[in-house]
Structure 1
Amino acid sequence: MLIDTHCHLDAAEFDADRIQVIRRAQQAGVRSIVIPAVCRSNFQTVRDLAASLPGGAYALGIHPLYMLQADEADLTVLENCLQAWRDDPRLVAIGEIGLDFFVPEISTPALRARQEWFYTRQLDLAQRFDLPVLLHVRKSQDMLLKHLRRRPPIGGIAHAFNGSFQQAEQFLELGFALGIGGAMTFDRALQIRRLAAQLPATALVLETDAPDIPPAWLGRDADGRRQPARNEPAEVARIAQELAALRSESQDDVIAQCARNAVRVLPRLNGLLPTDRV
């Protein structure tokens, strides 16, 4: 039961061949795709797209990279959508939300504070609507954890995790799983590969972040040089294979455990999947 727990399937990069992309994912064994929103303009889009897919799910939130274009009215729209769609079984999380202290343009002290304001307001909504969160985690692990510790457990997924073992353990203690995707497939990604190999099997979920974070085998020219490449949800199958090799486990066991982990941290997924296979 392959689950891509983080895929921006609504992205413009898929406009020309989205149906074929979905078909390739299904042929690769992907049975569920979680599609996170990034701003108010794609709330309805991700909902409609998820509804069109067997096993399709979505999350609603304002991404920190879209924070400059957002204001309090966007949070009101988010709250209204969560209220209106709260009984939709395909709505599985608040996301993609979080903090990005890597991009210089939004990492000044004033803009970090603005990011935190959006983040904490969305954590408030997660508590109110009893939903887990999909966290954008880039050079911001400690601050994300600081705000999470101030609240009752929320849980969810720390997407594209690349922190320390200590930070990983703190997210796990707060009810999170860690998203593992294309970055793990590069030999030079030593920290991510160590985390993937050594953390408990219950800690990890599979993801692609498609069309972003393409795995190592995409975008190579005839001479082996890296070229721009588009990631796809079908690649989660080979990502699972790479994870299994790192952990010296069978691919089937890794896929099954990651699916169980996904359902544990995103409980509404349970109603979208044939549960006898999870």
Structure 2
Amino acid sequence: MFIDSHCHLSFPELREQIPAILDAMQQAQVDRAICISTKLEEFDTVHALAMDHAPLWATVGVHPDEAEVQEPTLDDLLARAALPRVVGIGETGLDYYRLNGRSVADMEWQRERYRTHIQAGRQTGLPLVIHTRSASDDTLAILREAGGFGSGASDGLPVSRGVFHCFTETEAVARAALDLDFYISFSGILTFRNAADLREVARFVPLERILIETDSPYLAPVPHRGKTNNPSLVPFVAQQIAEIKGLPVEEVARVTSANTEHLFDRMMAQAC
């Protein structure tokens, strides 16, 4: 019924609890979850989760906030993307929130890493999982520049596609992402009392362009805020969207699951 489009079951808080999490997912009618890679050093663990458990799928990527890690080459991403049950490229994007004394100009390494992921997405045809924090202008500008938009993909590659995950940006940023035919994914933040502005953004985004996620182990939705999150709690995000849209939660589950299946279409192809 529900799909958690973004979780981190390889993280220590959750890795030793996989059987219990899978049981909780089943009870909550969460049929599938996509385990997101944040660095190459953890990819084998992420991929093993997907290979060992039918409800789980994987991506390959290096998070923009990961500085002291193996820098991914295009070949690194392409080789891992070719493995079974890998359905997306990312988590990638830009994050200028923690500059730690650096300037935005100093973050060119992030921008180059992001371009490498975009190229991998285009070469494989897999969707990008985009993270952006305090960097939306550059995130969008580089996506337009490197993603094949406006050029008619004259290099012979498809234009980029994907999702802006754990969305916390403005309606203007959401509109720009939608104009690029990207999806918007909302997390448990949507249920927080101080997230009224974000709920207005969710009201603006068409249901046909929305995914739901936990970003677990973080951002547990109300009424579980402050606790360790896991994919079984993603229905609370769907319920909040249902309230915003004035729809039954079953309809939100149906449409967001169909959206996830459409975007991460390799998940459906390999399930057959």
1:139-154 pair list within 5 angstroms: 139-150=134-145, 151-152=147-148, 153-154=159-160
Distance in 1 of aligned mates of 2:93 and 2:61: 9
Rounded to whole Å, the distance in 2 between the matches of 1:191 and 1:157 is 20
Shift of 1:117: 1.3
Q: 1:15 offset after TM fit, Å?
A: 3.4
Alignment equivalent of 2:112, drawn from 108, 117, 134: 117
Does the 8 Å CA contact 2:81/2:89 hold for their aligned counterparts?
Answer: no
Distance, in Å, in 1 between the alignment partners of 2:48 and 2:83 is 15
Q: 2:207 aligns with which of 177, 186, 201?
A: 201
CA contact (8 A) 2:77 2:120 kept: no
Partners of 1:175 and 1:265 within 8 A in 2: no
Alpha-carbon contact 1:35-1:50 (below 8 Å) kept: yes
CA offset digits 1:181-233 (Å, max 9, x no partner)? 100001210221111123211121010000011212124xxxxxxxx421111
Counterpart selection for 1:133 from 128, 133, 157:
128
Which amino acid is 1:229 matched to?
Answer: K
Q: Which amino acid aligns with 2:206?
A: P
| Identity rate, percent | 27
Work out whether residues 4 and 236 of structure 1, in 8 Å CA contact, stay in contact via their aligned partners in 2. Answer: yes
SS at match of 2:229: coil
| Pair 106,75 (structure 1): closer, same or farther in 2 beyond 3 Å | farther
SS in 1 for 2:93: strand
CA distance in 1, matches of 2:26, 2:183: 24
Alignment of 1:129-278 (within 5 A): 129-150=124-145, 151-152=147-148, 153-219=159-225, 228-271=226-269
Give CA deviations for 1:43-88 in whole Å, capped at 9, x if unaligned: 111111011222321110010111x2135xx323x62453255152
- For residues 53 and 16 of structure 2, the distance between their equivalents in structure 1, rounded to whole angstroms, comes to 18
CA RMSD of aligned residues (A): 1.9
- Aligned pair 1:79/2:85, yes or no? no
For residue 45 of structure 1, give the secondary structure of its aligned residue in structure 2.
helix
User: Aligned pair in 2 of structure 1 residues 57, 160: CA closer, same or farther (>3 Å)?
Assistant: same
After TM superposition, the structure 1 = structure 2 runs for residues 91-102 of structure 1, keeping only pairs within 5 Å, are: 91-102=86-97
SS in 1 for 2:122: helix
**How do residues 30-49 of structure 1 correspond to structure 2 at under 5 angstroms?**
30-49=30-49
Shift in Å at residue 161 of structure 1? 0.9
2:9·2:15 contact (CA, 8 Å) conserved in 1? no
Counterpart CA distance in 2 for 1:23 and 1:107 is 44
Classify the secondary structure of the residue corresponding to 1:70.
coil
Q: Which runs of 4+ in 1 moved over 4 A?
A: none
The aligned length equals: 261
Q: Deviations over 1:107-142 (max 9, x none)?
A: 523432221111112211111222111011112222
Q: Which moved more, 1:181-190 or 1:259-268?
A: 259-268
Counterpart of 2:217 in 1: which secondary structure?
A: coil
CA separation of 1:40/1:252 partners in 2, compared to 1, >3 Å: closer, same or farther?
A: same
Write the distance in 2 (CA, Å) between the matches of 1:2 and 1:70: 33
Structure 2 spans left out of the alignment, 5+ residues: 149-158
Q: Distance in 1 between matches of 2:122 and 2:101?
A: 26
In structure 1, the gaps of 5 or more residues are: 220-227
Q: What is the CA–CA distance in structure 1 between the aligned matches of 2:119 and 2:78, rounded to whole Å?
A: 12
